[in-house]
Structure 1
Amino acid sequence: MQTLQTHLSFIFILFLFINSNNSFSKNSKEPISSKIYVSDIQNFYNALDLALNDTLNATSIFKENYFDKGSKGLKDFYKSKIYSADKFSRFVLQHKEFYLSIRKDITDVDDLKEKIQTYFQEFKTIYPDATFPDIYFVVGRFSSNGTISKNGIIIGTEILCRTPTSNTENWNKDILRISMLREHIPVTVCHELIHFNQKKMKKENTILASSLREGSAEFIAELICGNTDGDYTSFAGKEEYIWSEFDNCKDNKSTWNSWRAWVKQSETRPRNSGYWTGYILCKSYYEQKNFDKKKVVYDILNIRSYNDFYIDCKIDQYIKNNYSK
């Protein structure tokens, strides 16, 4: 009898453990299980209101009322993108007119949830092995419009804030240049969703590998939403030159910074050049597979040899066909 009771007690505890783990799981195979957290945005504005009335103590105010109360996503974002509460508070107060002007547009994102859910469902269709994390909307200091952590997707909402009716009169010129349309948020979420599902791609630090990680997120996001996260209109007429530069250094290591999103652009190399090169590689590969979306997405998210993938793309012919003058 004692043995039976002990056995049943063990089963009951195991049942609670399993269900407890499932209840608090932050990642799921089902798109509808992904949760959206927006509490950090309201906490930010509560802190901003207090800081504007006590600027000398702004750093401690933001720390206590924003960062300390933050979601898991905000805490991860702080570690990877914000770093310093003091620098953050000084930046926000310096650009307070901007942050106040976007308050109404970013404190409520309910109208975007349905589109995000639709895109998640589409990704599930073309990649049945997909994992769907939670999404955290936070407010930063223009260091990232989107990133991921072990806890989910994190969106820097202050960058994705502009609307057709935004009053940009008091916006700093760099803020205006970097800012993106609010309606673009679901595309950024999808780009980051792809990054969250790149765990089977081989880890490597060459320019080619980094380019394919970013470019594949761009390409698959386009398959899902019809748009890339980055704007490549300024690349027109420069494609062959950019590609030639990339082809010459694609096997290099530790020089990715000159190809990434936030690098200062030049006449010959626009921002996001490394994203675009990876995107074009994936697009060329897609054409070789006769538009089999599932096959392409699986192959991209399971790359084990970047050089073999590069060869399979037949990229030289693609560049010649599409960009040769």
Structure 2
Amino acid sequence: MKKLLYSILLLSFISLNTFSKNSKDPNVSKVYVNDIQNFYLAFDEALKDTLNAKHIFKELYFNKGSKGLKDFYKTKIKSVDKFSKFVLKHKEFYLSIRSDLTNLDDLKKEIKTYFLEFKSLYPNATFPDIYFVIGRFSSNGTISKNGIIIGTEILCKTPNSNTKNWNKDILRISMLRKHIPVTVIHELIHFNQKHMKKGNTILVNSMREGSAEFIAELICGETDEDYSSFIGKEVEVWNDFKNQKDEKSTWISWNSWVRKSESRPRNAGYWSGYLLCKSYYEQNEFEKQKVIDDILNIKNYDDFYFRSKIEEYIKVNYSN
């Protein structure tokens, strides 16, 4: 009887770990797209009855949502009323991207390939489920305990997109649909930063974002964000970062959603952390596995800064 009970418990343990939503096996990770389908079912009904749009979105979209959508609502959407008003205001935009977002099968194979590549470079990696949702331009990607959540309406642009009715802010923020796998990998890196020492200085926050950018580039060949606006301003932005890196209260002026200024482009914190990782990579003779392991297990950010030899890297690559 004891042997039978032990066998049952052992099988239960194996089953729970095999089908865990956060697995060490990249092939176990699942992709959920039902929230996009539910959004458009609600969207169609809301257009027929705009006075009750708030109730319609609540019942047909949010109440039927996945775990990922529920997490996304708590942190990024927050208000059904604001959501429904935004969607109706920009209904032509949501209509124009419908066919591009309701079928993402063509991107799943690429995402899985990148997952396998990350596993080969970082054997201790954890692979969560992926949830594709529709939001109101508050985030293109985030994570929760349940997995990776992608705000797909931001990652919607294609060469054939009809942008005639997209307002200037939507046009400015929108990213290419084909970029979705890169955003997924950026968020996958965030999901695997559990062993990085926590902190709230600009240096720490920049390293968390910049390391996700750098490792995404190692895997995908490109970063999640576009840093072309930094060309010619590298030394100025870096010196600004160097002088503020130990501060705790001004991260908001360095993060991705702040509008650019003449002296500091958007995503300056991301870019600074990315450069630190890139310089560190070169000091370690371009050893991908070592650098990824070091970054994702960093305990002393000042020491990492010193060992990256970033000052020399800036001087050699950007000083006139």
Misfit runs of 4+, over 4 Å: none
Which of residues 158, 162, 170 is equivalent to 2:165?
170
Q: Name the SS for the 2:149 alignment partner.
A: strand
Q: CA deviation at 1:131?
A: 0.7
Q: Which residue matches 1:45?
A: 40
Letter in 2 for 1:138: V
Letter in 1 for 2:231: A
Q: Closer, same or farther in 2 for the Cα pair 1:167/1:37, shift >3 Å? A: same
Deviations 1:168-214 (A, max 9, x none): 00001100110000000000001001000000000011000000000
Q: CA deviation at 1:267?
A: 1.1
Which of residues 22, 28, 31 is equivalent to 2:26?
31
- Matching of residues 138-153 of structure 1 within 5 Å: 138-153=133-148
- Cα RMSD, aligned residues only: 1.0
Which of residues 268, 273, 282 is equivalent to 1:278?
273
Deviates more, 1:11-20 or 1:286-295: 11-20
Letter in 2 for 1:122: E
Instruction: Answer whether contact 2:17 2:23 (CA < 8 A) is retained.
Output: no
Q: CA deviation at 1:20?
A: 4.6
Q: CA deviation at 1:139?
A: 0.3
Q: Which residue matches 2:206?
A: 211
Q: Closer, same or farther in 2 for the Cα pair 1:291/1:251, shift >3 Å? A: same
Q: Which residue matches 1:110?
A: 105
Q: Name the SS for the 1:276 alignment partner.
A: helix
Instruction: Answer whether contact 2:126 2:192 (CA < 8 A) is retained.
Output: yes
Structure 1 unmatched runs, 5+: none
Letter in 2 for 1:49: D
Which of residues 95, 99, 102 is equivalent to 1:100?
95
Letter in 2 for 1:299: D
Q: Write the distance in 1 (CA, Å) between the matches of 2:301 and 2:201.
A: 9
Tell me if 1:91 matches 2:74: no
Letter in 2 for 1:281: L
Q: CA deviation at 1:263?
A: 0.4
Identical aligned residues as a percent: 72
Q: Closer, same or farther in 2 for the Cα pair 1:40/1:98, shift >3 Å? A: same
Q: Name the SS for the 2:277 alignment partner.
A: helix
Q: CA deviation at 1:268?
A: 1.0
Which of residues 178, 183, 196 is equivalent to 1:183?
178
Q: Name the SS for the 1:32 alignment partner.
A: coil
Letter in 2 for 1:119: Y
Q: Write the distance in 1 (CA, Å) between the matches of 2:270 and 2:87.
A: 29
Deviations 1:291-316 (A, max 9, x none): 11100000000000000000011111
Q: Which residue matches 1:318?
A: 313
Q: Write the distance in 2 (CA, Å) between the matches of 1:18 and 1:219.
A: 36
Deviates more, 1:122-131 or 1:222-231: 122-131
Q: Name the SS for the 2:194 alignment partner.
A: coil
Q: TM-score, normalised by structure 2?
A: 0.98
Q: Name the SS for the 1:134 alignment partner.
A: strand
Q: CA deviation at 1:15?
A: 3.7
Which of residues 274, 282, 287 is equivalent to 2:282?
287
Q: Write the distance in 2 (CA, Å) between the matches of 1:11 and 1:279.
A: 49
Q: Which residue matches 1:75?
A: 70
Deviations 1:34-71 (A, max 9, x none): 11000000000000001011111111110110001000
Q: Which residue matches 2:292?
A: 297
Q: Name the SS for the 1:231 alignment partner.
A: coil
Q: CA deviation at 1:21?
A: 2.0
Q: CA deviation at 1:30?
A: 1.3
State how many pairs are aligned.
320
Q: TM-score, normalised by structure 1?
A: 0.97
Deviations 1:91-117 (A, max 9, x none): 000000000100000010000011111
Q: Write the distance in 1 (CA, Å) between the matches of 2:7 and 2:309.
A: 57
Q: Which residue matches 1:200?
A: 195
Q: Write the distance in 1 (CA, Å) between the matches of 2:73 and 2:19.
A: 23
Q: CA deviation at 1:23?
A: 5.3
Which of residues 115, 118, 127 is equivalent to 1:120?
115
Letter in 2 for 1:46: L
Q: Name the SS for the 1:10 alignment partner.
A: helix
Q: Closer, same or farther in 2 for the Cα pair 1:23/1:289, shift >3 Å? A: closer
- Matching of residues 60-71 of structure 1 within 5 Å: 60-71=55-66
Structure 2 unmatched runs, 5+: none
Which of residues 123, 132, 137 is equivalent to 2:127?
132
Instruction: Answer whether contact 2:19 2:28 (CA < 8 A) is retained.
Output: no
Q: Which residue matches 2:260?
A: 265
Which of residues 242, 245, 250 is equivalent to 1:247?
242
Q: Write the distance in 1 (CA, Å) between the matches of 2:18 and 2:317.
A: 50
Deviations 1:239-287 (A, max 9, x none): 1010011000100012111000000111111110000000000000000
